[in-house]
Amino acid sequence: MKSEETPPAAEAPAIEVSHLVKTYAGVTAVNDINFRVPRGEILGFLGPNGAGKSTTMRILTGYLPATSGHVRICGIPVADEADAAKRKLGYMPENNPLPEDMRVSEYLYFRGRLKEVPRRKLGPRIDEVLELCDLKRVRHKIIGQLSKGFRQRVGIAEAVLAEPPVIIMDEPTIGLDPHQILIVRDLIASLRGRMTVVISSHILPEIEVTCDRVLIINQGRVVAQGAPADLRREILGRSSYEIEIAGNLGSLPLVLGTIDPTLRIADEGKPGADGFRRIQLATERDDELGEALLRALVGQGLRVRALSRAQPTLEDVFLAATRRSWDAVAPPAPAAGFPHRP
């Protein structure tokens, strides 16, 4: 095989994707995606529906062939050595398909055999993942009768069963209640450092809490990537404050200028019955201006009732990033990013 350019498996990044393109019958679902995931990192894959998340994940697992480009899992090219690459992977597809008429432990045993876990080690390993995913109570139950939360955890148990270095999960928390989401989140966090995890989701707080790094894709392109905090700064670029204030506001812009030259009024609300109005301020500065702001406003004889610093969430980042890319690529490709699924 083509091993001369492949770095030794021990140093290779867990996932390496270069110039990945996938077209379905003329529609480009994935358009020249590049990214690397170092070992032990948890990567969040964000994007609106039809952005190409599932398609990219399926190509990573070798289930779908790419139209062009390269994917390496732990240095192994997926297209050329599919079997070797699949041994490095645990995968949970979208909607977590499971056979209806098997018992949980039977299913895990069967999957373990397929993933070439030695028969001797399989029994103890199944006990271990059942414990990890809190499935001991239902190990003899039939999968078709389990609730959604249990089924989801069976899917995760199955993905981690063979202790693969790379785990790919397509929307692992979809359809779960907040309590179950918490359990799944802890479960994923417990894999940090030991395994490389790629999860996709459009539940943003989910990704923000769990992931070390976020990759936002839209219409088959990577529109932003980085740590959640960096992305926030990069895309939104500044912090903003909200104050509730009453009094003569004519001098307000001047006062703001003395605190910080870039501080300005972004939005001004109508005064309420009690004379207080809500005002939003934006600044280019990253550091805290709250105290200075409060002192200056009170010093001018204005009555301040509330001051808060607005933290842009990943949601804002996501909306900003996807909107930005929408504007950029919308005209030439009206249908792009919606892979045809019969």
Partner 1 sequence: MKHFFTILSHELRMLLVSASTYIAAVMFLGLMGFIFTGILEKYSTAPQDLSPTIVFFQLFWIPVIFMVPLLTMKCLAEERRLGTIETLLTTPVTTAEVVLGKYAAAYLLYVSFWSSTYGFFYILRRFAGDQHLLDPGPIVGGYVFIAVSGLLFIAIGVLASSLSRNQAVAGIVSFGLLFALIIGGRYLADAAWIDSESLGPLKAAVDYGQVLQHYEDFTRGVVDIRELLFYATGAALALIFSILSVEVKILHS
**Residue ranges binding partner 1 (CB under 8 A):** 24-25, 58, 61-65, 83, 86-87, 89, 91-93, 95, 97-102, 106, 110-111, 113-116, 158, 341-342
Of 40, 300, 9, 3, give the one whose Cα is nearest residue 166: 40
* Short-list 232, 155, 233, 161, CA closest to 199: 155
Query: In sequence order, what are the beta bridge partners of 37?
Result: 15
Residue 115: CB minimum distance to partner 1, A: 5
Rank residues 95 and 262 by Cβ distance to partner 1 and give the closer one.
95
Tokens 């089924």 correspond to 151
Query: Which CB, 160 or 281, lies closer to partner 1?
Result: 160
Q: Please report how close the Cβ of residue 155 comes to partner 1 at its closest, in angstroms.
A: 9
* Residue pair 169/159 in contact by the 8 Å Cβ criterion: yes
Name the strands in the sheet holding 264-268, side by side, starting at the edge strand that comes first in the sequence: 264-268, 277-283, 239-246, 303-310
What does each C-alpha distance from 170 to 45, 55, 188, 310 come to in angstroms? 9, 10, 13, 31
- Shortest reach from residue 96's CB to partner 1, in Å: 9
Give the C-alpha distances (Å, rounded to integers) separating 256 from 31, 213, 218, 249, 267.
Answer: 45, 36, 38, 11, 14
Q: Which is nearer to partner 1, 83 or 291 (CB)?
A: 83
Contact status, residue 207 vs residue 314, Cβ threshold 8 Å? yes
Q: Which residues pair with 68 in a beta bridge?
A: 21
Closer CB to partner 1, residue 129 or residue 321?
Answer: 129
The CB-of-210 to partner 1 minimum distance in angstroms stands at 22
CB of 42 to partner 1, least distance (A): 20
Nearest-approach distance from CB 213 to partner 1, in angstroms: 24
Angle made by CA atoms 109, 171, 75, in degrees to the nearest 5 = 70
Q: Which is nearer to partner 1, 116 or 291 (CB)?
A: 116
Rounded to a whole number of angstroms, the minimum distance from the CB of residue 190 to partner 1 is 22
The two structure tokens encoding residue 47: 């994007």
Task: Name the residue nearer to partner 1 (CB basis): 89 or 252.
Answer: 89
Q: Which CB sits closer to partner 1, 67 or 280?
A: 67
Residue 41 CB partners (closer than 8 Å, separation 6+): 14, 196, 197, 212, 213
Residue closer to partner 1, measured from CB, 58 or 185: 58
Determine the 3-state secondary structure of 56 from DSSP: helix
* Least spacing, CB of residue 51 vs partner 1, in Å: 18
